[in-house]
């Protein structure tokens, strides 16, 4: 719930950055109060109980996510030069911890390092999927998450992206990101056999549902620039 709320605040900042930053600060303060034993509401009390029940669950990934969102909001323009280390590092900061937070909840808090890394890959895949889903909406507020190097290599014009102009060169750059997302989901999927048996279905469902968004983007010819991407019911049911 807190992850979703923070993500919504970052996505819907609009022109009122001060209000959005204050909201993220409030989320962080609520989290800290809950962990200190003074939750403000039933949701925070449930969150605190979860942390008590799972000692391996760390708050650090959540705090890293909030830091990443705050950085976004404070910038007049968002740009990333390369996939690695730039966009990949950003994705790890705001979502890489999602996979790590899942592991203790799934009974895999003591998983080996390679499984934890594939958990990070799942979070990165989720954030890269978010990037691909929201290209048009982000460009409208001067945020371009697609690596500039990839745009240039594919011959795409940054100004066209900012204007919402769909071009074959832009689609090629999106196809590069789609391939990366699929590699990351494949990495996460390869960790499933190493998880406790009762956790495998949950992780598979998360992967399939989110990769359905990538499938839908591909089916649309890479266009989330002129219209927001929402997977069809058919795509979700087939996932």
pLDDT tens digits along 212-234: 999 999 999 999 999 887 765 44
Q: Does the model's pTM come out above 0.85?
A: yes
Task: For residue 125, name the pLDDT band (cuts at 50, 70, 90).
Answer: very high
- pLDDT value, residue 15: 54
Average pLDDT, the chain: 90
Taking alpha carbons only, the member of 218, 205, 130 closest to residue 176 is 218
Is it the case that residue 93 has pLDDT exceeding 80?
yes
In whole angstroms, what is the distance from residue 170 CA to residue 158 CA?
9
In whole angstroms, what is the distance from residue 51 CA to residue 153 CA?
45
Average pLDDT over residues 79-101: 93
CA-derived radius of gyration, the chain:
18
Beta-sheet strands, E only, within 97-189: none
Phi (first) and psi of residue 41, to 5 degrees: -155, 180
In whole angstroms, what is the distance from residue 95 CA to residue 107 CA?
20
Is it the case that residue 12 has pLDDT exceeding 80?
no
Bridge partners (DSSP) of residue 143 are 78
Please name the residues in contact with 199: beta carbons below 8 A apart, sequence gap of 6 or more.
Answer: 106, 107, 108
Is it the case that residue 143 has pLDDT exceeding 90?
yes
Average pLDDT over residues 35-64: 89
Average pLDDT over residues 31-41: 91
């Amino acid at each position: 719930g807190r992850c979703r709320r923070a993500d919504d605040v970052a996505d819907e900042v609009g022109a009122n950055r001060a209000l959005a930053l204050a909201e993220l600060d409030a989320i962080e303060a609520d989290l800290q109060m809950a962990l200190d034993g003074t939750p403000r509401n039933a949701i925070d009390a449930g969150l605190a109980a979860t942390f008590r029940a799972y000692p391996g669950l760390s708050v650090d990934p959540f705090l890293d996510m909030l830091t990443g969102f705050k950085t976004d909001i404070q910038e007049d323009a968002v740009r990333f030069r390369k996939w690695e280390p730039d966009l990949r590092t950003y994705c790890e900061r705001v979502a890489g911890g999602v996979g790590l937070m899942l592991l203790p909840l799934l009974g895999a808090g003591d998983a080996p390092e390679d499984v934890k890394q594939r958990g990070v890959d799942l979070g990165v895949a989720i954030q890269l999927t978010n990037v691909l889903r929201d290209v048009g909406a982000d460009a409208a507020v001067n945020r371009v998450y697609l690596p500039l190097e990839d745009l240039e290599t594919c011959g795409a014009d940054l100004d066209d992206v900012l204007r919402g102009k769909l071009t074959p060169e832009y689609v090629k750059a999106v196809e590069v990101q789609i391939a990366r997302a699929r590699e990351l989901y494949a990495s996460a999927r390869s960790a499933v056999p190493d998880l406790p048996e009762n956790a495998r279905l949950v992780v598979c469902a998360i992967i399939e549902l989110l990769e359905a968004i990538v499938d839908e983007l591909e089916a649309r010819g890479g266009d989330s620039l002129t219209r927001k991407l929402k997977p069809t019911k058919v795509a979700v049911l087939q996932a």
